[in-house]
Amino acid sequence: MDTQNTLIHDYSQLDPDTIISAVESKGYLCDARVLALNSYENRVYQVGIDDQSPIIAKFYRPNRWSDEQIIEEHLFSKTLHDLDIPAVPPLYLPIGTASQTSSLFSFKGYRFALYQRRGGRAPELTDMNQLYWLGKLMGRVHAVAKTQQFQHRPSLSIDSFIRKPVAYILEHDFMPALFKESYTAIVTDILQHVEANYQQFPPKLIRLHGDCHPGNILWTDNGPHFVDFDDSRNGPAIQDLWMLLSGERHEQEMQLREILEAYQEFCDFDLCELRLIESLRSMRIIHYAGWLAKRWDDPAFPRAFPWFNTESFWGEHILQLKEQLAALQENPLQLYP
């Protein structure tokens, strides 16, 4: 990593001048156009460059990932890109002598990476041809991903996605008192079901994109490409697939068959992992509320999520968890019903 300063602890000093100066420190000449993109965990900007296409500058949230964890994520996306799998890696730029390059840089205490701008639209998850295409690409990604695990990045775990978020929410009084008892009861029941499911069907961990929802897959006339590997971690392969499913149960089973038919052209899939889908969905729902709670001190979050920390949100959240508990008790999706 190209380091210059001690890292700072928030985004309060990340103004347009700092953003432009950080980009120009890597040899670019900016035209002063800075556009904030839709990102809350990190800060991401499109920065105009004289006589060139704009580039994307991503400033990492302080104290979230270590340098080793960020670099490991960068290497994963670069490995995929080098194998002609359409993932968007950061730019590797010279540091020191021309023979040395890095993808992670520091400017005035902020760590950042630069990316080529790649546009596109979200895929149509009801389009079976697009799902088949996505299945093939995800099979290629996982065929590479399963060759080794991340050494520095974490694994998707019950502890980090259920126990810790729940404890944080309850300890910091984000929830109105009238909901605490019912919330505690429902998450306890969900936790028991998820733990039992993991014990009965322990997943094999591979490297994952980690947050493979449609917003992180950009579709162009030439097909899709994967962006934003920031949540990469070790986990079960199905984690990168279940968020591509939508609609009623029979529709999801049709979509799943299409995805896995294409996926298995490139990578084997353990059908027992289908039993983990609702457990993983439960973990994501609980973790999301915990993520909002943990980030509430960031001024961007109350502005972007004003409905959080209200009676209405927590009432709807508990209802969603009750519905999820019912889903955990149903038969899993079947590839061949």
The token pair at 29 is 């000449």
Q: Of the listed 2, 211, 230, 240, which one is catalytic?
A: 211
Burial annotation 83-97 (CB, 10 A radius, 16+ → b, else e): eebbbbbbbbbebee
Angle among Cα 259, 212, 86 to the nearest 5 degrees reads: 80
Structure tokens at 103: 């993808």
In 131-261 the beta strands, taken as DSSP E runs, fall at 206-208, 217-220, 223-226, 233-235
Of the candidates 10, 15, 189, 228, the residue annotated as catalytic is 228
211 is catalytic: yes
- CA–CA separation, 268 vs 161, rounded Å? 27
Using the 8-state DSSP alphabet, how is residue 155 labeled? Answer: B
Instruction: Report d(CA 183, CA 315) in Å as an integer.
Output: 9
DSSP reduced 3-state for 305: coil
What is the helix (H) or strand (E) element at residue 1, kind and residue range?
Answer: none
3-state secondary structure (DSSP) of residue 226: strand
Neighbours of 221 (CB within 10 A): 5
Quick check: is 228 catalytic? yes
Residue (of 21, 3, 1, 4) closest to 13 by Cα position: 21
Annotated catalytic residues are 211, 228
